Chain A
């Protein structure tokens, strides 16, 4: 990461927001499909699997980008507990965006279901067929999906808290387009508008 940068890179922001849309869609597709017996059940399930595994692939890219570009520092005046909560919740979000797709894939493998995505892409089984394993993975996918939703809500609440209450530049660091303080889109990778972040 470029020293003194106050924002995530454009690639990071693009990944953050496109994945946020996909993941939020996945919660709704997930609970919608399992409560439906309508014809849409079939395309919803296919979308759930395809989008879910796209999220897994994007998460890999995102982690690599994060390792290379790092993250802007949190504001110096952020109280320690909030700082800790921010860091832990980010670890949690990263962990879950890997765990959920892997659990879904593994659950279907344990149930001897073929894993076929849109476009006829066939994936191999990643665990052996097993009833006990299927149940275990089903429960993990189910409970962690709701835990993930709760964590995303908390994360959104915190982001809005930074944006509306603390106004400390944390939101602007991830804002999809330039912040209102004159950071023109596209110029974000130079350190010239540190004012967005009261660091």
Chain B
């Protein structure tokens, strides 16, 4: 590469340039990876913040750690096709895998100590479209943003006497969830709970039109209202025992209800319910036909990541599904890596 007249750049300067390129590239990677930004909210931080004071329970889900697997089917009536071209909404039966669970990072706690009950759900059509979801019985989420949820987890772990009051003052939206959580109106069965997506998704119909909607599973079983004290007297693992017996006798059923946003309804904040009277579509029936212990059941190694969506459903401007996806993947990576610590043999009959 002759520059004959001018003196060629000195070797030293060239080497310095090469070094600078390497340092700059490494620096840019470190910056992108967040190694230079200790304040960035990362999936690892979110997952660590969920841990109980005694530390994470190795081998288990980092939240909703206590649970039991089920299989069944979704009997679609075809009505959902009005807002989504997802195969799951085509009339017919689609296989289902799921998990009933309690919103706690500790797998061994008593059922009566946990207010939030959840369901992990996968609807996989014969033609291979997979839809995963994780839903809870609360009517709203406690806070508006993933950042606020992180702050809530930190506040809950704080020893400061007035920490929670301070948090509630800064995040008044938590009052709606708080009122629900405090009500003594529990049910006696996983089968008697509604399960709500809380997050809004965009359902895309055959013509490509997007419809913002939240969705729920409404139980067909009439609720047996019960106080937590009474539930506690039935035993620590009453919910798993009860659902096993119930489903052995007959499938448990829910109606899948899609609730559509009106124009102007916000879709980004799961702590705020939409007003009553929104258009809704009953898209079919979820049948839970078989219960299996988590230890040797099919749900243990599944990540019910709410962004695993089939063609015909997309994330909306709700920031939660992305944050959840990132955190669930981290939790999944950790718990599968700790597989040796997990009690793979089923525990003695509950």
Q: A residues near B, CB below 8 A?
A: 27-28, 31-42, 45, 111-114, 116, 120, 122, 129, 131-132, 134-135, 138, 149, 153, 156-157, 160-161, 163-165, 167, 172, 179-181
Contact = CB atoms under 8 A, between A and B. Distances in A.
A112 B305 CA distance: 12
B32 interface: yes
Nearest to A129: B301
A37 B21 contact: no
Contacts of B322: 37-42
28 contacts: A27-B29, A31-B34, A35-B33, A35-B42, A35-B43, A37-B46, A37-B326, A38-B322, A41-B322, A41-B325, A41-B326, A42-B307, A111-B332, A112-B302, A113-B308, A114-B308, A131-B301, A135-B339, A138-B333, A153-B26, A157-B21, A160-B14, A163-B1, A164-B14, A165-B11, A165-B15, A167-B8, A180-B1
Contacts of A179: 1
Given A32-B32, A37-B322, A164-B17, A114 B130 contact: yes
B311 interface: yes
B259 interface: no
A174 B246 CA distance: 70
Contact of A42 (B2, B321, B333): B321
Contacts of B308: 113-114
Nearest to A161: B18
Contacts of B311: 120
B337 interface: yes
Q: Which secondary structure characterizes the binding site on chain B?
A: helix
Contacts of B315: 39, 42
A172 B1 contact: yes
Given A153-B22, A157-B21, A160-B21, A132 B339 contact: yes
Contacts of B337: 135, 138
B303 A113 contact: yes
A164 B18 contact: yes
Contacts of B323: 37-38, 41
A157 B236 CA distance: 63
Nearest to A167: B1
B287 interface: no
B126 to A, nearest CB: 13
A138 B338 CA distance: 13
Contact of B34 (A35, A114, A122, A153): A35
A32 B30 CA distance: 9
B184 to A, nearest CB: 34
A39 B147 CA distance: 12
B23 to A, nearest CB: 10
A37 B149 CA distance: 12
A135 B341 CA distance: 14
A132 B59 CA distance: 12
Contacts of A134: 301, 336
Contacts of B33: 31-32, 34-35
B128 interface: yes
Contacts of B102: none
B157 to A, nearest CB: 19
Contacts of B46: 37
A177 to B, nearest CB: 14
B129 to A, nearest CB: 8
A42 B14 contact: no
B208 to A, nearest CB: 13
Contacts of B32: 28, 31-32, 35
Nearest to B132: A114
B301 A181 contact: no
B109 interface: no
Contacts of A172: 1
